[in-house]
Structure 1
Amino acid sequence: MTLKHSSIALGVVAALLGTTDAKADEFEKSAEVIVVSGSRVEQKLSDVTGSVSVVTEQTLEQEVSIDLASAFRYKTGITTQGSAGNAQAITVRGIGGNRVVYIKDGRRLNDAYEGGQGLLIGRGYLDIEGVRQIEIAKGAASSLYGSDALGGIVVISTKSPSDYLASSKAYAHLSAGYHGASDEQSISGVFAKRIGEHAASLQLTRREGSETQNYDESLPEYDYTSTAAVLKGELALGAQSSLLTTLDYYTQETEQVLAEQSNETKEVNDSLSVSVLYKSSAATALYDNLQAQAYFSDYEQRSDQIRAGADRSGPYVDTNDYRFEQQIVGTRLVLDKQLDVGAVAHQFVYGLDFDRYDTQRPRYKSRRTLQGALVKDNEAQKAFPGADTTLIGLFIQDNVTLLPDSLTVNAGLRLDSYQMDPKHDTLYASGAFEKIDETALSPKLGVVYSISDGLSLVGQYARGFKIPPHDQAYQSHGVEPFYQIIPNSDLDPEYSDSLELGLKGSFDSSQFSLGVFHSTFDDFIANQLVRTEPTFIPNVSKQVYQYQNIEEVKIKGFEANMTLWLNDQIAIDSGLTYLHGKNSQTDDYIESLSPLNGFVKARYESEQWSLTTALRAASHMDKAPSDAAIKTAGWATVDVFADYHWHNWQLNMGIFNLLDKEYVNYERVAGSAADISLSQYTMPGRYLAAKVKVTF
């Protein structure tokens, strides 16, 4: 009780403190946030027609975030699943999974396969140490980014040597952290050096932790370790051109032993990327600025399992070797050109994307009886055959200033061609898998109209599309005699049409945004029960599933955000999100919705330290897909975090779920049976997080 009362009192005192000589420049900073997700070139956030949420390096530090799941606690329209040491997934306005593109430093991150509860196994294995900014553009973005940008894009930008060095010749820092939710301990270091006109940086991070527990701390235990390394080199090729080379490596190992020699799992996720980015600002007749990038990435997941079981022939022990492997070779060309035609100013952004995916899903099983007899020896198992996927896209966007300081229009168009070829594998029946070859056209039209100084009306229409993913089109496995998933090479691509209308205000002591949106998803892909078959077990039928196109899904809602500066040191930030979405064929709610939710943050900032008290809340959720599906109660939690700067030292601390509230995020159980026990899905109780950094 002492911890609770003292922390709450501290937050109240901070909110009531008077002003000092410190200046509140937070508003000016937020007004000048620069993003690339709106046009693929740098652009002021205030000029973007769609909704974009931004998390900066400073925010990640202030809120003691350690991964994607903790980076978006206080953002509207965005929910996350997963935890440290595990797969993680981001859902944007009710759409997630492979329907959201992940871009890191200009290159596509690997996609993944469905692993239950909305998670994509293979996603979220990256380190946010060294991240400069994360942007999430909400709604369709295929006019710029092509396939998979059906529901939004996640753009992750890491720091370059110039970001560390500024005008210095050398830079270094060391940091150590602790995160109580997963008992994670971390250490990280950065070193950057200027060598003549060139520069280089190296960032290393090591993390060790355990499972993120539920409220009762009753989940099975596991341990994880991760190592991340990012090496970058900037080569100055002249006064107006440069070359940036990047080597990005990440590995994570998770071990779980529930019962020796009968239930053990060791999982390793390895990711290696190499990229070269050429930039030129030497203007020509075709462009003012040019960016050309080539990259290669290699992702592999290995899951080694020992599982005891029994069947009609008796008890046995399986040793499983399950993998997911994906290599991507990609190139990017982005150019922009400023042209003035009469009194109308045009900024053309255009270019080309090429990506080649090589995806494989090998699975092998060995089985021995308890007497040691070998029944299966590294026998291949079904899941889905690999696929070779090629994506080619041509895009152009015109950012037009029709009336200076009053009316701008963003008009974009992209043409995509894609092919997906299943790999030939004797494990699967011949003729069951066919090549998928399609094209797609994705338009976009956005408007920003300044009603008055600081007040703007924004609107946007955008189309998105998604190619049928390999794990759904070619899925072919099951557990006899209970269920079977059969392939469907006739899947059509998914399409979305998104409309958004909003009002933005930026004034001396406040800023706000209000937005309503409506998205229609055609040929939405979902797993469907297609038939049942009798089995040799009395009263037990085999269920046969297949991924099929649903005619139409509609999602609508609104978001509201407001920031108030009460004086030079006190700011209040708040946000609210409402979603409503249904399958138009069945009139059932879709599983990926979130209940009405929001947050309020009160921040006090002095010259050397700051203190923030934050409230997050969600209403009860009764928009379940069926009467037999789970519904959840509403909840509210309080977090308190602070930072202190002293010379070259920085300390960040946070107490999360301060009041030790037991609650369940609906997203973790959506679509589950109404009678399941919620205990294992509860969020962690009160915990502490801290990080200390020293800069040299």
Structure 2
Amino acid sequence: MNFPSFQLTALATLLLGSGSAIAEEIIGEHIVVSGSRFEQKLEDVTGSVTVITEQDIERKLAVDLQTMFRYDPSISSTGSGSAAQTLSIRGVGGNRVVFIKDGRRTNDGYAGGDGYLVGRSYFDVAGIKQVEVAKGAASSLYGSDALGGIVVITTKDPSDYLLNENSFAQVALGYQGQSNQMSVDITAAKDLGDLGVSAVYSHRDSEEVQNFTDNLPGYDAKSDSLLVKLEQQLDEQRTLKYTLDYFNQTTEQVITKGRQETEDENTNWSLALDYDSKAATAAFDQWHWQVSFSRYEQQSDQISATAAHTDYNDYRFEQDILGLRAVFNKKIALQDATHNVVYGADVDIYDTTRPRYKTRLLADGKVDFTAQKQKAFPGADTSLVGVFMQDNIKFANSAWSLIAGVRFDYYSLAAKNDDLYSDAELDDITESAFSPKLGMIYQVNDNLSWYGQYVRGFKIPPHDQAYQSHGVEPFYQILPNADLAPESSDSYELGMRFSGNDINVTLSAFYAAYDDFIDVAIAGVEPTFIPNVNKTFYQYQNISETQISGVEASMLMHVSDDVLLEANVAYVEGENKETDEPLTSISPLNGSIQLTTALGDIDWTAAWRFAKSQSDVVRDASGDKTTQGYGYGIVDLYASYEWQTWQLNVGVINLLDKKYVPFELIAGQSQGADFSQYTQPGRNFSARVSYQF
């Protein structure tokens, strides 16, 4: 592995050569909600949490999940630009990570090939205040789906914009070179006495994210988003908030006009009513409830032609979610200890459908069939009900703190009646589980603390895996499996945090054992009428045990008054204990280093992200090792300039124009395969300029 360390050194020397003082940077305290479902300091949370702020998004010119977490080595992504995206946290991803936006669950996804999870990541970064990623199981607070972690997205309220002002307005124009994206964001807020109003509108025009040689099939994409919030102050202690969140994206790809075309449209909208009260009672000091309704609709219209016929496909995925939740906080001060108790309940009701239709036109112009229903998986009605409690205990005259919590979840899944699946066994599934959590913090002194935690994770079988029932005759068939057991995990983490005047350091080691991990397996093989061709039956089944472990380290330090250094590194390994084979979802040793300084009024950041090749890889059917990937080092450069109410951010990504392939995109493939389609874009430029009225 050849890291371009000499190039990074030269670049850093150029940036740090000036004697200008960097704009004052404060290593501050993040306030998070992911660790306890109420606001607390990050230092009071057991377990690792990544925080991406609004300023991080602006300075690094992030436009989606992939660009948002580019410098976090423990979080990897598949998909980029307008394509379906998903996150993997410490090697666990897909629907095992739950997304929470402004308190409500976002829509499910379904397997779409190449590890992508179609149906998620369709939201805009405009208006985001903060994104938190809790690494590892969070089922004790957030319930099923949170087996691998949670992504908590918080958008700005009217009060965040106004800050004792009567009005706020901002216009931002942006360009992102990775996808040739042009964007405009318009934000406005107004104080109307007891009512605060804010609206954020964003429009984006973009293209496909190309590989290094620019030879992937192209497409055009457009998106529009609108986030409207109203904050009503009922009195000094009670607030109502109304939210409308809308996102629409269309992509069009034409490979051969009239023969190979695809048009996808994804629409996601939600309405929410939130109530907050600080009127204390004997049972709680403050409480919050929310009722929300979300609708997600995906429609994919495809034209696929052969010499004999042309197929017109209408594929859809639709999901409605009704959510109800209540969260209560109570602080109890006793002689020996202070208890911060959070408890509450969540109810989420899903209505999911997956209609697919095909119309076939023969080569002679005759219609073979019209709107014929196609198999995938039937719709499902899903109910999730959970109650939880967690107590954060600080002992008097002691350096110890204790965090103890438990959640009970009840889950039911019922397939919708559909004659298309009359020959499949689609039994209803009901499950329940307790998910406990136990954590401790030992405060050595004002600067140094140690923490440890145990968390029990729980994950319900997804509807698409339990009820998948389709195939291509006579070659393969995917069988439903109503006997799928829930996935569960026992995870442990030990860590250290040091926080000084000029430096923050975090070290952590983690281990997780997963029981009944769900993966696809061959359920049977039978001969067909074609000589030497067998029909293979696939089915999602439970794997008895899987293990993942690793270490992470991060540092944020003022090297001098002029230089801020940030460094992150992560190493993870995972194994299927049934086969003693490594997991393909594990990333190799990787990390990032960022140096920030100032030249005059301009803040500069040089960022280096690197990865090692993966030596421990799965073997193919012949017993040969699959690809180990390639190590790489990539340099990015950012600059930020503020003048009065103007702000300019620019960036050069892959400054040295290196050709590289992230291991996550090729894991499990043959060593001799052509990986050119997975190479990442070469040198590209991004910029954003904003003006505040």
TM-score by length of 1: 0.96
Is 1:217–2:214 an aligned residue pair? yes
Indicate which of 469, 494, 499 corresponds to 2:492.
499
1:192 positional shift: 0.3
Alignment-derived partner of residue 14 in structure 2:
13
1:532 positional shift: 1.5
Q: Is the 8 A contact 2:194 2:234 kept in 1?
A: no
Q: Is the 8 A contact 2:479 2:537 kept in 1?
A: yes
Indicate which of 134, 138, 141 corresponds to 1:141.
138
**What does 1:663-682 align with in structure 2 at a 5 Å threshold?**
663-682=660-679
Q: Secondary structure at the match of 2:159?
A: helix
Alignment-derived partner of residue 543 in structure 1:
536
**What does 1:255-334 align with in structure 2 at a 5 Å threshold?**
255-309=252-306, 315-334=308-327
Indicate which of 393, 404, 412 corresponds to 1:400.
393
Q: Is the 8 A contact 2:199 2:228 kept in 1?
A: yes
Structure-2 separation of matches of 1:302 and 1:163 = 36
Alignment-derived partner of residue 243 in structure 1:
240
Alignment-derived partner of residue 3 in structure 2:
none
Indicate which of 347, 351, 354 corresponds to 2:344.
351
**What does 1:69-108 align with in structure 2 at a 5 Å threshold?**
69-108=66-105
1:408 positional shift: 1.1
Structure-2 separation of matches of 1:548 and 1:486 = 10
2:596 alignment partner AA: R
Alignment-derived partner of residue 384 in structure 2:
391
**What does 1:434-445 align with in structure 2 at a 5 Å threshold?**
434-445=427-438
Q: Is the 8 A contact 1:554 1:583 kept in 2?
A: yes
Structure-2 separation of matches of 1:609 and 1:538 = 71
**What does 1:487-566 align with in structure 2 at a 5 Å threshold?**
487-566=480-559
Alignment-derived partner of residue 580 in structure 2:
587
1:405 positional shift: 7.0
1:619 alignment partner AA: K
Structure-2 separation of matches of 1:159 and 1:489 = 42
Q: Secondary structure at the match of 1:566?
A: strand
Alignment-derived partner of residue 33 in structure 1:
30
1:274 alignment partner AA: L
1:676 positional shift: 2.1
Structure-2 separation of matches of 1:607 and 1:400 = 48
Structure-2 separation of matches of 1:16 and 1:598 = 25
In structure 2, relative to structure 1, the CA distance for the partners of 1:631 and 1:76 (3 Å cut) is closer
Q: Secondary structure at the match of 1:164?
A: helix
1:678 alignment partner AA: F
Q: Is the 8 A contact 2:180 2:206 kept in 1?
A: yes
Q: Secondary structure at the match of 2:95?
A: helix
Residue deviations 1:250-302, cap 9 Å, x none?
00000000001110000000001000000001111111111000000000000
Structure-1 separation of matches of 2:256 and 2:615 = 39
In structure 2, relative to structure 1, the CA distance for the partners of 1:146 and 1:636 (3 Å cut) is same
Q: Is the 8 A contact 1:11 1:611 kept in 2?
A: no
1:147 positional shift: 0.2
In structure 2, relative to structure 1, the CA distance for the partners of 1:606 and 1:414 (3 Å cut) is farther
1:431 positional shift: 5.7
Alignment-derived partner of residue 355 in structure 2:
362
Alignment-derived partner of residue 633 in structure 2:
636
**What does 1:53-132 align with in structure 2 at a 5 Å threshold?**
53-132=50-129
2:607 alignment partner AA: A
Q: Is the 8 A contact 1:15 1:602 kept in 2?
A: no
Indicate which of 565, 587, 594 corresponds to 1:601.
594
Structure-2 separation of matches of 1:367 and 1:593 = 42
Residue deviations 1:145-204, cap 9 Å, x none?
000000100000001100011110000000000011101000010010000121000100
Indicate which of 178, 188, 191 corresponds to 1:181.
178
Q: Is the 8 A contact 1:68 1:128 kept in 2?
A: no
The CA RMSD measured in Å over matched residues stands at: 1.6
1:105 positional shift: 0.2
In structure 2, relative to structure 1, the CA distance for the partners of 1:479 and 1:134 (3 Å cut) is same
1:631 positional shift: 2.3
Q: Is the 8 A contact 2:424 2:480 kept in 1?
A: no
Runs (5+) with no aligned partner, structure 1: none
In structure 2, relative to structure 1, the CA distance for the partners of 1:143 and 1:448 (3 Å cut) is same
Structure-2 separation of matches of 1:361 and 1:675 = 37
1:15 positional shift: 2.1
Q: Is the 8 A contact 1:19 1:568 kept in 2?
A: no
Structure-2 separation of matches of 1:9 and 1:159 = 40
Residue deviations 1:457-512, cap 9 Å, x none?
11010011110000000000111122110000000000011100011100121110
1:300 alignment partner AA: E
Alignment-derived partner of residue 150 in structure 1:
147
In structure 2, relative to structure 1, the CA distance for the partners of 1:307 and 1:461 (3 Å cut) is same
Structure-2 separation of matches of 1:78 and 1:384 = 30
Structure-1 separation of matches of 2:385 and 2:630 = 46
Structure-2 separation of matches of 1:443 and 1:582 = 25
Alignment-derived partner of residue 43 in structure 2:
46
Q: Secondary structure at the match of 2:258?
A: coil
1:673 positional shift: 3.1
1:108 alignment partner AA: R
Structure-2 separation of matches of 1:554 and 1:482 = 34
1:548 positional shift: 0.2
Structure-2 separation of matches of 1:424 and 1:23 = 63
Structure-1 separation of matches of 2:276 and 2:486 = 34
Task: Using the aligned pairs only, state the percent identity.
Answer: 48
1:248 alignment partner AA: D
Indicate which of 189, 198, 212 corresponds to 1:192.
189
Q: Is the 8 A contact 1:11 1:640 kept in 2?
A: no
Structure-2 separation of matches of 1:618 and 1:503 = 24
1:366 alignment partner AA: T
Q: Secondary structure at the match of 1:287?
A: coil
Q: Secondary structure at the match of 1:98?
A: helix
Residue deviations 1:94-124, cap 9 Å, x none?
0000000000000000011011222100011
1:52 positional shift: 0.2
Alignment-derived partner of residue 24 in structure 1:
24
1:537 positional shift: 2.3
Q: Is the 8 A contact 1:117 1:669 kept in 2?
A: no
Q: Secondary structure at the match of 1:14?
A: helix
Is 1:371–2:364 an aligned residue pair? yes
Is 1:451–2:452 an aligned residue pair? no
Structure-1 separation of matches of 2:198 and 2:600 = 30
Alignment-derived partner of residue 689 in structure 2:
692
Indicate which of 161, 167, 170 corresponds to 1:170.
167
1:343 positional shift: 2.3
Structure-2 separation of matches of 1:609 and 1:197 = 40
1:23 positional shift: 6.2
Q: Secondary structure at the match of 1:26?
A: coil
Residue deviations 1:577-613, cap 9 Å, x none?
0011000010001110000001110011478431000
Alignment-derived partner of residue 337 in structure 1:
330
Q: Secondary structure at the match of 2:57?
A: helix
Runs (5+) with no aligned partner, structure 2: 1-5
